[in-house]
Amino acid sequence: MPSHPATRSRTFAFALLAFGCLGFAAAWILVSAWLDRSCAWMALLAGVDAALLLRFARVRPGIGRALLGATATLLMIALASWGIAAARIGRSLGLLPWESMMKMGAEFGWLLVRLGTSPTDLAWFAAGVVVAAWASK
């Protein structure tokens, strides 16, 4: 029995958003490793990316799409922050970032994220979420 087109469309939208979040977070981690900085300004690009992905997936405009865009941006920020912390600690241990991510515990990982995040970084993160909500609506 074929599935309803709306269900397939919703599934496609969430899959596109999930893969987009992972891809953007990976790119953010690579840029951060290359420049040897946290590159918090990329949160603005993450917000624009989330909005574009939602538009490409043809998610209906409105408050729901704005909340979904903001949530996706928060997810990208969290994944990138975790990956940047893992890359920094892994480099000193001779591990690749994804190897370090798997070995780093949750408590230690978020401690590194908190220690490595400045108030300016938090402002960039907040601006990225606002851009995502505004561009997604």
pLDDT along the chain (137 residues), means of 10: 63 87 95 93 97 91 94 96 91 85 85 91 97 94
pLDDT at 5: 62
Contacts of 57 (CB under 8 A, 6+ apart): 9, 12, 13, 16, 17
Per-residue pLDDT at 2? 53
Whether the Cβ atoms of residue 117 and residue 81 lie closer than 8 Å to each other: yes
How many independent structural domains does the chain possess? 1
CA contacts within 13 A on the Cβ side of 100: 20
Task: Give the span between the Cα atoms of 18 and 56, in whole angstroms.
Answer: 13
Give the tens place of pLDDT for each residue, 47-81: 999 999 999 888 899 999 999 999 999 999 999 99
Predicted pLDDT at 125: 97
Give the pLDDT confidence score for residue 51 in this predicted structure.
Answer: 95
d(CA 55, CA 79): 22
Q: What is the pTM of this model?
A: 0.89
pLDDT at 1: 47
Evaluate whether 120 touches 40 at the Cβ level (below 8 Å). yes
Measured CA to CA in angstroms, residue 22 lies from 4, 12, 19, 60 at distances of 27, 15, 5, 23
Q: Which amino acid is at 44?
A: L
Closest among 44, 54, 50, 41 to 22, alpha carbons compared: 50
Which residue range is the domain that position 78 belongs to? 5-136
Q: Which pLDDT belongs to residue 72?
A: 96
